[in-house]
Amino acid sequence: MAGFSDQVTGLVKTLRNEAPDCVAAGVVDMATGMLLAYETVDSHPPEVLDLLAGATLDLFQGRTVVMIEDLFKERRGVLSDDHFFQEILVNSDNLTHLFVRMTEQQDVVAVVVCRKAVNVGMLFAQTRRVVRAHGL
């Protein structure tokens, strides 16, 4: 069985190759605040890549997001530590960014960046398929 590092590297490579119109893919560990692996068609300043992990953490586990999740759990009587927000889609001027929380390791998030013209349905379908296949 492959180690965690090999699984992460394999996940990034597969996302980069199989997500439609993909220009970059990466994996963020929100527990450590680190970008574990990434592949991109362009070079980016290191400080931008460093900020990706922090931005991902803010999207999924920022103070207000946690408050919303806690409120839902309270109202629904949920005692689990699982998170409600599993996928987040962000559109910028030229790109579409999909953030997907791993099923087994909730603090690990796959990030896929595609051209804005991407078929969003195909992006979700392919990304979900690849994430499930890698079982993180």
> pLDDT per residue over 1-38, tens digit each?
568 899 999 999 999 999 999 999 999 999 998 999 99
CATH number, residue 53:
3.30.450.30
Q: Residue 112 is part of which domain span? A: 4-134
> pLDDT per residue over 47-59, tens digit each?
787 788 899 999 9
Which H, E and C letters describe the chain, residue by residue? CCCHHHHHHHHHHHHHHHCCCEEEEEEEECCCCEEEEEEECCCCCHHHHHHHHHHHHHHHHCHHHHHHHHHHHHHHCCCCCCCCCCEEEEECCCEEEEEEECCCCCCEEEEEEEECCCCHHHHHHHHHHHHHHHCC
Give how many domains the chain has, as a whole number: 1
Write down the pTM of the prediction.
0.91
